[in-house]
Amino acid sequence: MPDLHFDNSCPFSLSGQIALITGGGTGLGFAMSSALLSAGAKVVLTGRRLDILREAVKQLGEGSFAYAQDVTNPESITDSLDRIQREIGDPTILINNAGTHLKKALADTSMEEFRGIMGTHVEGAFALSQALVPGMRRQGHGSILFIASMTSLIGMPNVVAYSAAKSALMGMVRGLATELGPENIRVNAIAPGWIETPMLHKALDGDPTRRDKILSRTPQAKFGNKMDIGWAAVYLSCPAASFVNGVMLPVDGGASIGF
């Protein structure tokens, strides 16, 4: 098995690596982009809204790049990846972060909506992983991260499509970890808990009862910071985690095990 081509002076360094983060221009995607850049990687932010990606690159600075890409469109994936490989190189880190949310009860969720959620989260992540693995093989190593969810671990009402998609990702993690592990390509997932984001505030600021309920079931009794997810992504992508494969890391203050 080939050795990792990392800067061995620091096991947490990502120097020399190229990371592609889908949905990397906002929220948790931006936080992970920032953390990986700080660890020494070049970061490629992809998404459908190029203006937002370019603004994110302005904030991140040197070593960050923006490319338009729609993970639900195979032609878009092929075109953007060809450009990335020509202009920057083969990504050795992939973070499948792009996704969308749907909060609806079973009776109110249409088949079209269900397929749309599955298409973005599951089919998109599958297509992009499939597209990037050949480049990782050429480099002799790779790390693929899926962004799972609390709904991958516990039941929540009124998010059946989202729960199905995030649970399906874990099947891909296990399957790909066993398939690609012998080629020095590791596959893992992060399951974010309740993280301080505009979306969280939109959901909870007018609902103090729900906010208190969540905090009461979180052993650390607080919400997480976006960079908590960013640093978890660095760890799972770096040499320090070179024997970590096929796992889901909850970053949730203990919420998934608390009561």
**Strands (E) located in 80-237:** 93-96, 142-147, 185-192
Are the CB atoms for 246 and 181 separated by under 8 Å?
yes
221 φ, ψ (degrees, to nearest 5): 55, 40
Active-site residue (options: 30, 67, 162, 235): 162
162 among known catalytic residues: yes
Q: Which two tokens stand for residue 202?
A: 């939109």
Q: How far apart are CA 174 and CA 171, in angstroms?
A: 5
Vertex 251 angle, CA 50 and 201, to 5°? 60
Interatomic CA distance for residues 183 and 41, integer angstroms:
21
Rg (CA), the chain: 18
Collapsing DSSP states into helix, strand and coil, what is residue 145?
A: strand
| Continuous segment of H or E residues that includes residue 64 | strand 64-68
- The candidate with the shortest Cα–Cα distance to 142, out of 30, 19, 28, 29, is 19
Distance CA 148, CA 173 (A): 10
> What is the set of active-site residues?
162
